[in-house]
A and B are shown apart, each in its own frame.
Chain A
Amino acid sequence: MQQVFKRPTSLKDVQTHFCPGCHHGTIHRLVAEALDEFGLQKETIGIASIGCSVFLYYYFDIDVIETPHGRAPAVATGVKRARPDRFVFTYQGDGDLAAIGTAEIIHAANRGEHISVIFVNNTTYGMTGGQMAPTTLLGQKTSTSPYGRKPQVEGYPIRMAELLSGLDGVAFSARAAVNSPKNLMDAKKQIRKAFRYQVEGKGFSFVEVLAACPTNWGMNPIEANERVGREMCEFFKLGTFKNTAEL
Protein backbone atom coordinates (compact mmCIF):
# COMPACT_ATOMS: atom_id res chain seq x y z
CA MET A 1 0.00 0.00 0.00
CA GLN A 2 1.26 3.46 -0.94
CA GLN A 3 0.41 6.87 0.35
CA VAL A 4 -1.41 8.51 -2.57
CA PHE A 5 -2.16 11.83 -0.90
CA LYS A 6 0.33 13.62 1.30
CA ARG A 7 1.34 17.10 2.39
CA PRO A 8 3.59 18.83 -0.17
CA THR A 9 7.17 19.29 1.06
CA SER A 10 7.02 23.06 0.39
CA LEU A 11 4.28 23.31 3.05
CA LYS A 12 5.44 23.06 6.67
CA ASP A 13 3.78 20.49 8.89
CA VAL A 14 2.29 23.02 11.30
CA GLN A 15 -1.13 24.08 12.50
CA THR A 16 -2.45 27.18 10.71
CA HIS A 17 -4.31 30.06 12.35
CA PHE A 18 -7.00 30.03 9.65
CA CYS A 19 -10.63 29.64 10.71
CA PRO A 20 -12.37 26.31 10.03
CA GLY A 21 -13.31 26.06 6.36
CA CYS A 22 -11.14 29.01 5.27
CA HIS A 23 -9.98 28.45 1.70
CA HIS A 24 -6.61 30.12 2.36
CA GLY A 25 -5.47 26.73 3.71
CA THR A 26 -6.54 24.94 0.54
CA ILE A 27 -4.95 27.56 -1.72
CA HIS A 28 -1.69 27.44 0.29
CA ARG A 29 -1.57 23.70 -0.34
CA LEU A 30 -2.22 24.04 -4.09
CA VAL A 31 0.56 26.63 -4.41
CA ALA A 32 2.95 24.38 -2.42
CA GLU A 33 2.06 21.40 -4.63
CA ALA A 34 2.85 23.43 -7.76
CA LEU A 35 6.21 24.53 -6.27
CA ASP A 36 7.01 20.87 -5.54
CA GLU A 37 6.02 19.75 -9.02
CA PHE A 38 8.37 22.22 -10.69
CA GLY A 39 11.11 21.47 -8.13
CA LEU A 40 11.14 25.14 -7.10
CA GLN A 41 11.25 24.92 -3.31
CA LYS A 42 14.94 25.85 -2.97
CA GLU A 43 14.89 28.64 -5.54
CA THR A 44 11.65 30.39 -4.68
CA ILE A 45 11.19 33.74 -2.98
CA GLY A 46 7.59 34.11 -1.88
CA ILE A 47 6.27 37.65 -1.45
CA ALA A 48 3.69 37.82 1.32
CA SER A 49 1.11 40.58 1.74
CA ILE A 50 -1.11 41.92 4.51
CA GLY A 51 -4.29 40.12 5.47
CA CYS A 52 -5.09 36.69 6.84
CA SER A 53 -2.33 35.24 4.65
CA VAL A 54 0.28 37.40 6.40
CA PHE A 55 1.96 34.34 7.95
CA LEU A 56 3.06 32.85 4.63
CA TYR A 57 6.55 32.50 6.14
CA TYR A 58 5.24 30.30 8.96
CA TYR A 59 3.48 27.94 6.60
CA PHE A 60 5.67 27.62 3.50
CA ASP A 61 9.07 25.98 3.72
CA ILE A 62 10.61 28.53 1.33
CA ASP A 63 12.20 31.96 1.60
CA VAL A 64 9.57 34.66 2.11
CA ILE A 65 9.64 38.45 2.27
CA GLU A 66 6.81 40.16 4.11
CA THR A 67 5.71 43.39 2.44
CA PRO A 68 3.62 46.41 3.47
CA HIS A 69 -0.07 46.36 2.55
CA GLY A 70 -0.58 46.20 -1.24
CA ARG A 71 3.11 46.54 -2.11
CA ALA A 72 3.86 42.89 -2.87
CA PRO A 73 4.04 43.35 -6.69
CA ALA A 74 6.48 46.27 -6.26
CA VAL A 75 8.72 44.25 -3.93
CA ALA A 76 8.43 41.24 -6.25
CA THR A 77 9.56 43.47 -9.13
CA GLY A 78 12.73 44.42 -7.27
CA VAL A 79 13.45 40.87 -6.15
CA LYS A 80 12.95 39.36 -9.60
CA ARG A 81 15.03 42.03 -11.33
CA ALA A 82 17.85 41.61 -8.80
CA ARG A 83 17.67 37.81 -8.87
CA PRO A 84 16.20 36.73 -12.21
CA ASP A 85 17.32 33.16 -11.43
CA ARG A 86 14.78 32.94 -8.59
CA PHE A 87 11.14 31.98 -8.87
CA VAL A 88 9.08 34.86 -7.43
CA PHE A 89 5.39 34.82 -6.62
CA THR A 90 3.11 37.09 -4.61
CA TYR A 91 0.13 35.89 -2.57
CA GLN A 92 -2.42 38.64 -1.94
CA GLY A 93 -5.98 39.10 -0.72
CA ASP A 94 -8.57 41.32 -2.39
CA GLY A 95 -8.22 44.14 0.13
CA ASP A 96 -4.49 44.01 -0.43
CA LEU A 97 -4.39 43.68 -4.23
CA ALA A 98 -7.61 45.35 -5.40
CA ALA A 99 -7.86 48.22 -2.90
CA ILE A 100 -4.73 49.61 -1.25
CA GLY A 101 -2.41 47.94 -3.77
CA THR A 102 -4.24 48.75 -7.02
CA ALA A 103 -1.44 50.95 -8.34
CA GLU A 104 1.24 48.32 -7.64
CA ILE A 105 -0.57 45.43 -9.31
CA ILE A 106 -1.66 47.44 -12.36
CA HIS A 107 1.82 48.76 -13.06
CA ALA A 108 3.70 45.52 -12.32
CA ALA A 109 1.28 43.77 -14.68
CA ASN A 110 1.51 46.50 -17.30
CA ARG A 111 5.31 46.42 -17.19
CA GLY A 112 5.09 42.69 -17.79
CA GLU A 113 7.27 41.81 -14.80
CA HIS A 114 8.34 38.16 -14.84
CA ILE A 115 6.46 37.27 -11.67
CA SER A 116 3.41 35.16 -10.80
CA VAL A 117 0.54 36.52 -8.71
CA ILE A 118 -1.88 34.43 -6.64
CA PHE A 119 -4.89 36.61 -5.84
CA VAL A 120 -7.30 35.31 -3.19
CA ASN A 121 -10.72 36.91 -3.60
CA ASN A 122 -13.02 36.34 -0.62
CA THR A 123 -15.12 39.50 -1.22
CA THR A 124 -14.09 41.04 2.10
CA TYR A 125 -11.28 42.27 4.32
CA GLY A 126 -10.92 39.10 6.36
CA MET A 127 -8.26 39.99 8.87
CA THR A 128 -9.68 43.30 10.04
CA GLY A 129 -13.24 42.14 10.63
CA GLY A 130 -15.09 41.88 7.35
CA GLN A 131 -15.14 45.39 5.88
CA MET A 132 -16.32 45.95 2.31
CA ALA A 133 -13.71 45.24 -0.38
CA PRO A 134 -13.75 46.38 -4.02
CA THR A 135 -14.78 42.78 -4.80
CA THR A 136 -17.76 42.73 -2.40
CA LEU A 137 -20.84 41.65 -4.36
CA LEU A 138 -23.86 43.93 -4.83
CA GLY A 139 -26.25 43.49 -1.92
CA GLN A 140 -23.58 41.84 0.25
CA LYS A 141 -23.69 42.95 3.85
CA THR A 142 -20.34 43.75 5.43
CA SER A 143 -19.37 45.69 8.53
CA THR A 144 -18.98 48.85 6.38
CA SER A 145 -21.98 48.17 4.12
CA PRO A 146 -24.44 46.96 6.78
CA TYR A 147 -27.47 47.36 4.50
CA GLY A 148 -25.80 45.63 1.58
CA ARG A 149 -23.50 47.09 -1.09
CA LYS A 150 -25.35 49.56 -3.32
CA PRO A 151 -23.82 50.58 -6.67
CA GLN A 152 -25.02 54.21 -6.28
CA VAL A 153 -23.07 54.52 -3.04
CA GLU A 154 -20.20 52.03 -3.19
CA GLY A 155 -19.83 51.29 -6.90
CA TYR A 156 -19.58 47.89 -8.51
CA PRO A 157 -17.51 44.82 -7.66
CA ILE A 158 -14.28 44.74 -9.64
CA ARG A 159 -13.26 41.79 -11.81
CA MET A 160 -9.47 41.82 -11.51
CA ALA A 161 -8.68 38.83 -13.75
CA GLU A 162 -10.60 40.36 -16.68
CA LEU A 163 -9.29 43.87 -15.97
CA LEU A 164 -5.65 42.78 -15.97
CA SER A 165 -6.11 40.65 -19.09
CA GLY A 166 -6.67 43.92 -20.97
CA LEU A 167 -3.09 45.05 -20.28
CA ASP A 168 -0.46 44.28 -22.92
CA GLY A 169 2.09 43.34 -20.24
CA VAL A 170 -0.01 40.43 -19.00
CA ALA A 171 0.80 37.02 -20.50
CA PHE A 172 -1.59 34.85 -18.51
CA SER A 173 -4.73 35.64 -16.52
CA ALA A 174 -7.28 33.19 -15.15
CA ARG A 175 -9.86 32.70 -12.41
CA ALA A 176 -10.47 29.51 -10.45
CA ALA A 177 -12.24 28.30 -7.30
CA VAL A 178 -11.72 25.55 -4.73
CA ASN A 179 -15.32 24.99 -3.59
CA SER A 180 -15.76 21.58 -5.22
CA PRO A 181 -13.40 18.77 -6.21
CA LYS A 182 -13.94 19.64 -9.89
CA ASN A 183 -13.20 23.36 -9.48
CA LEU A 184 -10.25 22.54 -7.24
CA MET A 185 -8.69 20.31 -9.92
CA ASP A 186 -9.08 23.18 -12.41
CA ALA A 187 -7.52 25.57 -9.89
CA LYS A 188 -4.50 23.27 -9.66
CA LYS A 189 -4.09 23.37 -13.42
CA GLN A 190 -4.39 27.16 -13.59
CA ILE A 191 -1.81 27.66 -10.82
CA ARG A 192 0.54 25.22 -12.56
CA LYS A 193 0.08 27.09 -15.85
CA ALA A 194 0.78 30.43 -14.21
CA PHE A 195 3.99 29.04 -12.70
CA ARG A 196 5.00 27.51 -16.04
CA TYR A 197 4.83 30.99 -17.57
CA GLN A 198 7.50 32.20 -15.21
CA VAL A 199 9.58 29.01 -15.33
CA GLU A 200 9.68 29.25 -19.13
CA GLY A 201 10.32 33.00 -19.10
CA LYS A 202 7.04 33.81 -20.83
CA GLY A 203 5.97 36.81 -18.77
CA PHE A 204 3.57 38.04 -16.09
CA SER A 205 1.00 35.51 -14.86
CA PHE A 206 -2.04 36.02 -12.66
CA VAL A 207 -4.49 33.58 -11.05
CA GLU A 208 -7.49 34.80 -9.09
CA VAL A 209 -8.88 32.15 -6.75
CA LEU A 210 -12.37 32.61 -5.30
CA ALA A 211 -12.34 31.82 -1.60
CA ALA A 212 -14.67 31.42 1.35
CA CYS A 213 -14.37 33.51 4.51
CA PRO A 214 -16.95 31.74 6.70
CA THR A 215 -16.20 33.88 9.75
CA ASN A 216 -16.83 37.29 8.20
CA TRP A 217 -19.69 36.07 6.04
CA GLY A 218 -21.44 34.87 9.20
CA MET A 219 -21.81 31.40 7.77
CA ASN A 220 -20.69 27.93 8.74
CA PRO A 221 -17.99 26.39 6.52
CA ILE A 222 -20.44 24.35 4.42
CA GLU A 223 -22.71 27.36 3.77
CA ALA A 224 -19.72 29.56 2.93
CA ASN A 225 -18.36 26.92 0.58
CA GLU A 226 -21.76 26.79 -1.14
CA ARG A 227 -21.91 30.57 -1.44
CA VAL A 228 -18.73 30.51 -3.52
CA GLY A 229 -20.46 28.33 -6.12
CA ARG A 230 -23.86 29.95 -5.92
CA GLU A 231 -23.09 33.68 -5.76
CA MET A 232 -19.43 34.28 -6.49
CA CYS A 233 -19.06 32.02 -9.54
CA GLU A 234 -22.14 33.73 -10.99
CA PHE A 235 -20.51 37.15 -11.00
CA PHE A 236 -16.84 36.16 -11.12
CA LYS A 237 -16.82 33.71 -14.03
CA LEU A 238 -14.26 30.96 -13.88
CA GLY A 239 -11.99 30.57 -16.87
CA THR A 240 -8.90 31.75 -18.71
CA PHE A 241 -8.97 35.34 -19.90
CA LYS A 242 -5.52 35.51 -21.45
CA ASN A 243 -3.06 32.81 -22.41
CA THR A 244 -0.60 34.37 -24.85
CA ALA A 245 1.70 31.33 -25.08
CA GLU A 246 -1.29 28.96 -25.27
CA LEU A 247 0.05 26.75 -22.49
Chain B
Amino acid sequence: MPRIEIDELRCKGCALCTIACPKKLIATSEHINNLGYKPAVFEGTEVQCTGCALCAEMCPDVAIKVFK
Protein backbone atom coordinates (compact mmCIF):
# COMPACT_ATOMS: atom_id res chain seq x y z
CA MET B 1 0.00 0.00 0.00
CA PRO B 2 1.41 3.47 -0.89
CA ARG B 3 2.04 5.77 2.00
CA ILE B 4 3.65 9.11 2.84
CA GLU B 5 5.74 10.26 5.78
CA ILE B 6 5.65 13.92 6.76
CA ASP B 7 8.69 15.13 8.68
CA GLU B 8 6.95 17.18 11.31
CA LEU B 9 10.16 18.83 12.46
CA ARG B 10 10.85 20.25 8.97
CA CYS B 11 7.29 21.16 8.06
CA LYS B 12 6.54 24.90 7.98
CA GLY B 13 2.79 24.46 7.74
CA CYS B 14 2.49 26.23 4.39
CA ALA B 15 -0.32 23.84 3.39
CA LEU B 16 0.75 23.64 -0.27
CA CYS B 17 0.67 19.83 0.05
CA THR B 18 -2.96 19.96 1.19
CA ILE B 19 -4.04 21.61 -2.07
CA ALA B 20 -1.73 19.43 -4.17
CA CYS B 21 -3.21 16.10 -3.09
CA PRO B 22 -5.85 15.12 -5.64
CA LYS B 23 -7.55 13.00 -2.97
CA LYS B 24 -7.45 15.65 -0.25
CA LEU B 25 -5.78 13.30 2.19
CA ILE B 26 -3.63 15.92 3.93
CA ALA B 27 -4.77 18.53 6.43
CA THR B 28 -3.12 21.09 8.67
CA SER B 29 -3.02 20.01 12.30
CA GLU B 30 -3.97 22.13 15.28
CA HIS B 31 -0.82 21.59 17.33
CA ILE B 32 2.37 23.61 16.96
CA ASN B 33 5.75 22.08 16.10
CA ASN B 34 9.28 23.01 17.19
CA LEU B 35 9.45 25.72 14.51
CA GLY B 36 6.21 27.33 15.69
CA TYR B 37 4.14 26.18 12.73
CA LYS B 38 1.08 23.94 12.49
CA PRO B 39 2.42 20.93 10.61
CA ALA B 40 0.62 19.00 7.90
CA VAL B 41 -0.83 15.60 8.81
CA PHE B 42 -1.88 12.68 6.66
CA GLU B 43 -5.53 12.03 7.35
CA GLY B 44 -6.38 9.40 4.78
CA THR B 45 -5.88 5.67 4.87
CA GLU B 46 -3.25 3.71 2.98
CA VAL B 47 -5.97 2.40 0.72
CA GLN B 48 -6.77 5.94 -0.40
CA CYS B 49 -3.21 7.15 -1.07
CA THR B 50 -2.08 6.38 -4.62
CA GLY B 51 1.58 7.27 -4.03
CA CYS B 52 1.38 9.86 -6.81
CA ALA B 53 3.86 12.06 -4.86
CA LEU B 54 2.25 15.34 -5.92
CA CYS B 55 2.21 16.42 -2.26
CA ALA B 56 5.96 15.82 -2.01
CA GLU B 57 6.65 17.54 -5.33
CA MET B 58 4.90 20.71 -4.17
CA CYS B 59 6.52 20.82 -0.71
CA PRO B 60 9.05 23.69 -0.64
CA ASP B 61 10.75 22.13 2.38
CA VAL B 62 11.23 18.57 1.08
CA ALA B 63 9.41 17.38 4.21
CA ILE B 64 7.47 14.52 2.59
CA LYS B 65 8.72 11.05 1.70
CA VAL B 66 6.58 8.80 -0.48
CA PHE B 67 6.66 4.98 -0.47
CA LYS B 68 4.97 2.74 -2.99
Contact = CB atoms under 8 A, between A and B. Distances in A.
Contacts of A24: 60
Contact of B61 (A3, A16, A181, A222): A16
Contacts of A5: 53, 56-57, 64-66
A18 B67 contact: no
27 contacts: A1-B3, A1-B67, A3-B65, A3-B66, A4-B51, A4-B53, A4-B66, A5-B64, A11-B62, A15-B10, A15-B35, A15-B61, A18-B60, A19-B12, A20-B12, A20-B14, A21-B16, A25-B60, A25-B62, A181-B20, A181-B58, A185-B57, A221-B14, A221-B15, A222-B15, A225-B16, A225-B19
A184 B13 contact: no
A20 B67 contact: no
Interface size class of A (residues with CB under 8 A): 20 to 34
B68 interface: yes
Interface in A130-186: 178, 181, 184-185
Interface in B11-45: 12-16, 19-20, 35, 37
Given A5-B53, A5-B56, A21 B12 contact: yes
Q: 8 nearest interchain CB pairs?
A: A25-B60, A21-B14, A20-B12, A5-B66, A221-B14, A20-B14, A5-B56, A5-B53
Interface of A: 1-7, 11, 15-16, 18-26, 29, 178, 181, 184-185, 214, 221-222, 225
Interface residues of B, number: 27
A16 B57 CA distance: 17
Contacts of B67: 1-4
Contacts of B51: 4
Contact of B68 (A2, A11, A15, A25): A2
Nearest to A25: B60
| Residue of B13, B60, B67 ringed by the most chain A CB atoms within 10 A | B60
Nearest to A18: B60
